[in-house]
């Protein structure tokens, strides 16, 4: 039998004699991390081990997770406490006065107290003493209000702030956050009271690189006009911002450094909106899932994003085999007209609903960014779940995407084993999980089962 690792030995020791956890921490001077998950039997004798964590000179990371009845009262020994990262799970019951002892961890760089009911205005006020703090996670702390965020004005070192799920936070709170000019990452997921007015308060965050606004349903196209001034943005999450449409996407076209963009469930976004994305030359990840107004014509615009390595177009019901040809650079050809360049679809007349003969608007003027289309040759991840019009014929075009590593074809009923063999030429492609693919599972009774397909 292979030699047990030290981690396994310690795990068994803690399970057999949980009361000795404190002694272990005291004895191991080089102990770096204590992850106490579901340690329901752990108890500390406060007369004997009151300075446990303070005397662990090497301890840098402490995590107290669900079911653990131990919490860091011992952090009140201020001078020797050198913990750099502290995580307290939401299910650990704390009183506000107890949580206040965190202020003694003056070396803290990362603090996570997500979902903790004891987090309030007084706690955030105590955080100001942590002059080395860089990451603060108060996600799902639903007692936090706009007024509590006043303390963040003086947290000059905080670079990443997670307020996701703090449902009492609104536009007034964002006025305080706008003064934290060192911020590089900000999450406001599911902060339903945040609106376009609140986004206007963030325009001074010139260093902001990551912004998450998913499920902020009051944010509209007007709010994205404020975001256009955040030119350092790299990651932007707008998932389920249902009021955002094509006009809002146009406001983002000036964010030339943007690398990740999520527009999933933004159902007002259409093919016209994707035309504005062609200016985002640095874009590497794009999510368009559940954007039902996007069709094959929209895929033609995406071909300009030559650095794209991850694309999610799952549940885009209008995308068919023809859309996949655009991803490989084969479904179009550019030709010179009288003083202009036009885009023509390379398919037989009448074979596709978006053929130029079926639309008076085609051929149309081609966006200048599309003049050098070569296909998404760097694409590594492609999600086509529930694209029910995609068939075996479409998979033949994907065979040229040699960098492809992950491909999702779940609930694509027209895919068969014959079509999957076309992907055998992709050297990096991982085994495919194909739930709800009738023709692959082989029988009407078993089509709901997941099948792993090894190429």
Instruction: Summarize the confidence of residues 135-143 as an average pLDDT.
Output: 93
pLDDT digits (tens, 9 = 90+) for 197-225: 999 999 999 999 999 999 999 999 999 99
Average model confidence (pLDDT) across the chain: 78
Whether the per-residue pLDDT at 136 is higher than 80: the answer is yes
304 φ/ψ sector (left φ>0, alpha ψ -120 to 50, else beta): alpha
For residue 19, CA distances in Å to 15, 72, 89, 450 come to 9, 16, 21, 45
- Cα dihedral sign, 11-16-17-19: positive
Could you read off the pLDDT of 159-181 as tens digits, one per residue?
Answer: 999 999 999 999 999 999 999 99
CA distance 410 to 436: 6
Residues 6+ away with beta carbon under 8 Å from 372: none
Q: How far is CA 423 from the centre of its chain?
A: 28
- Predicted confidence at residue 99, as pLDDT, reads 77
- Give the torsion through C-alpha atoms of 55, 58, 64, 70, to 10 deg: -20
Q: Indicate the pLDDT class of residue 118, thresholds 50, 70 and 90.
A: confident
- Please name the helix (run of DSSP H) or strand (run of DSSP E) that holds residue 111, with its range, or none: strand 110-112
Domains of the chain listed by start with CATH number: 1-140 (3.80.10.10)
Distance CA 215, CA 213 (A): 6
Q: Which residues contact 159 (CB under 8 A, 6 or more apart)?
A: 134, 135, 182, 183, 184, 185
Tokens of 24: 């272990």
Pull the structure tokens for residue 253.
């076209």
Q: Which residue has the higher pLDDT, 73 or 130?
A: 130
SS3 16: helix
Instruction: Name the strand (E) or helix (H) holding 420.
Output: helix 417-420
Cα-trace Rg, the chain: 27
Q: What is the largest CA-CA distance in the chain?
A: 90
d(CA 397, CA 388) in angstroms, rounded, equals 17
- Give the separation between CA 147 and CA 281, rounded to whole angstroms: 40
pLDDT-above-90 percentage for the chain? 51
Which residues share a beta bridge with 33? 61
């Amino acid at each position: 039998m292979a030699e047990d690792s030290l981690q396994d030995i310690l795990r068994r020791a803690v399970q057999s004699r949980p009361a000795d956890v404190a002694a272990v921490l005291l004895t191991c001077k080089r102990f770096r991390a204590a992850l106490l998950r579901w340690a329901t039997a752990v108890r500390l004798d406060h007369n004997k081990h009151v300075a446990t964590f303070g005397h662990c000179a090497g301890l840098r990371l402490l995590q107290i997770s669900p079911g653990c009845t131990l919490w860091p009262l011992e952090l009140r020994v201020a001078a020797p406490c050198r913990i750099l990262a502290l995580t307290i799970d939401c299910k650990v019951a704390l009183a506000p006065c107890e949580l206040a002892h965190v202020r003694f961890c003056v070396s803290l760089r990362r603090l996570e107290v997500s979902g903790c009911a004891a987090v309030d205005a007084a706690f955030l006020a105590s955080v100001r003493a942590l002059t080395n703090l860089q990451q603060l996670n108060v996600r799902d702390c639903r007692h936090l209000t706009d007024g509590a965020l006043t303390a963040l004005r003086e947290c000059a070192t905080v670079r990443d702030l997670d307020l996701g799920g703090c449902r009492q936070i609104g536009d007034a709170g964002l006025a305080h956050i706008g003064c934290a000019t060192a911020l590089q990452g900000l999450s406001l997921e599911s902060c339903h009271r945040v609106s376009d007015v609140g986004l206007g308060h963030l325009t001074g965050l010139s260093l902001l690189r990551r912004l998450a606004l998913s499920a902020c349903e009051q944010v509209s196209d007007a709010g994205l006009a404020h975001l256009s001034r955040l030119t350092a943005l790299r990651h932007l999450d707008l998932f389920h911002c249902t009021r955002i449409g094509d006009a809002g996407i146009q406001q983002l076209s000036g964010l030339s450094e943007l690398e990740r963009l999520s527009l999933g469930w933004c159902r007002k976004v259409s093919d016209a909106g994707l035309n504005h994305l062609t200016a985002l030359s640095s874009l590497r990840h794009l999510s368009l899932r559940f954007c039902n107004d996007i069709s094959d014509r929209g895929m033609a615009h995406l071909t300009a994003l030559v650095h794209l390595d991850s694309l999610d177009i799952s549940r885009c019901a209008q995308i068919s085999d023809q859309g996949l040809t655009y991803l490989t650079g084969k479904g179009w050809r550019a030709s010179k007209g009288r003083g202009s360049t036009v885009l023509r679809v390379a398919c037989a007349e009448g074979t596709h609903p978006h053929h130029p003969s079926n639309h008076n608007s085609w051929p149309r003027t081609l966006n200048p960014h599309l003049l050098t289309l070569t296909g998404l040759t760097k694409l590594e991840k492609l999600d086509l779940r529930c694209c029910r019009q995609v068939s075996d014929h479409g998979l033949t075009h994907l065979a040229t995407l040699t960098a492809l590593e992950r491909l999702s074809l779940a609930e694509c009923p027209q895919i068969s084993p014959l079509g999957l063999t076309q992907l055998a030429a992709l050297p990096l492609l991982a085994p495919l999980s194909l739930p709800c693919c009738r023709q692959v599972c082989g029988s009407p009774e078993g089509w709901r089962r997941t099948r792993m397909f090894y190429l």
